[in-house]
Amino acid sequence: MRRKVLTVIKLVLPTLLFLILTGSAQDFQLRSKVDLVVVPVTVKGAGDRLITGLRKDDFTILEDGKRQTITNFSVDPVPLSAAIVLDTALPLSSLNKVQQTFSSLVSSFGDFDEVALYRFDKFVTKVLDFPGDPAKLEASLKMLPNLNGGDQYPAFARDPFSSSGPVINGAAVVPPDQLAPATTISNLLNDAIYAAASDVAKRDRERRKIVLVISDGREAGSTHSSDETLTTLLENGIQLYAVTVGEDYLSKKSGMLRDFAKNTGGDVFNVKSSQGIEKSYSDATEEARNQYILGYISANEAKISKPVFRNIEVKLAGSKGETRHRKGYYQYPDKVNAASKND
């Protein structure tokens, strides 16, 4: 018994000494009792350019209208965990443009980033799983078949977490009495984002977690609703970036991808040319990688029996620019903040 105790002491003592010597012991104790809310913030000025060089005192955070004390501040770039979601139901002309930009998509990620790749139309397919690197992404993109076919990888039918069932020539076999009308067209955008977000949520908390969607914004037939999909993004601190091509579905005020991006602190790039698509890839990853990271301990106590959504507002001193950040997080009765667990 004594030998076992000595062994435990030998294993634990170095860690305790490290915490004491580095001044981290107090921080370790604090984090074991409270939840740190982490808010990545992008600041843009005229011409949609990124504004750098701001300091902690330039920012003010309000949660449900109540000012919070910023305890953590960082401007250090962080590696990405990025799920790329490719819409293979795009019109042929748009899809051809996207295929021409694959090399730029690969080069927008660095050696320390990790990626996964999904494609969707009337099915959702995971083509490359984490922890893929740029080389694996390039190989996966090259192995894609004729994308205009749309059904070469029937991994998920409607619900991305259900088995696909029998298929013939890539199409699901459905009993005659369950056939949908011939006019029904599926384009499972919500299901694809939901599946990608569920996988990104499991990645290391020290990484910036994003979903990068390449689509025209059409949604039809998904099992998961827009609200359910957005909740998954917010609960896991995932930002959505969208490169929209083809017809401008986002010109409508209710554009779904624009809502996702706005509420999660991401961005939307509405482009038509191959050059514009290529630039959007690098702009999206640059924004995600280089953000102001603000942290605070919520002054609001969750005296409730179910999760409550806390609204976040980040303001800048003076008129230095426009802030983009997630609009809130879910606080839980036991004070287990899902957002801080996964950021």
Domain ranges for the chain, please list them: 37-76+292-342, 80-289
What per-residue confidence (pLDDT) applies to 194? 98
First vs last C-alpha separation in the chain: 41
What per-residue confidence (pLDDT) applies to 76? 93
Low-confidence residues of the chain: pLDDT under 70: 1-34, 145-184, 247-254, 302, 304, 334-343
What per-residue confidence (pLDDT) applies to 32? 34
Q: How many helices (H) and strands (E) does the chain have?
A: 10, 17
Please state the separation of Cα 50 from the chain's center in Å. 20
pLDDT per position as a tens digit, 13-41: 444 443 444 444 444 333 333 589 999 99
pTM beyond 0.85: the answer is: no
What per-residue confidence (pLDDT) applies to 147? 60
Q: Residue 263: in which H helix or E strand, if any?
A: helix 256-264
pLDDT per position as a tens digit, 64-108: 999 999 999 999 999 999 999 999 999 999 999 999 999 999 999
Residues 6+ positions from 10 with CB-CB distance below 8 Å: none
Residues 6+ positions from 287 with CB-CB distance below 8 Å: 42, 50, 241, 267
- Cβ-contact 293, 73 below 8 angstroms: yes
What per-residue confidence (pLDDT) applies to 80? 98
Is CATH 3.30.70.100 the classification given to domain 80-289? no
What per-residue confidence (pLDDT) applies to 249? 52
Whole-angstrom distance, CA of residue 292 vs CA of residue 50: 11
Whole-angstrom distance, CA of residue 13 vs CA of residue 19: 10
Whole-angstrom distance, CA of residue 121 vs CA of residue 342: 29
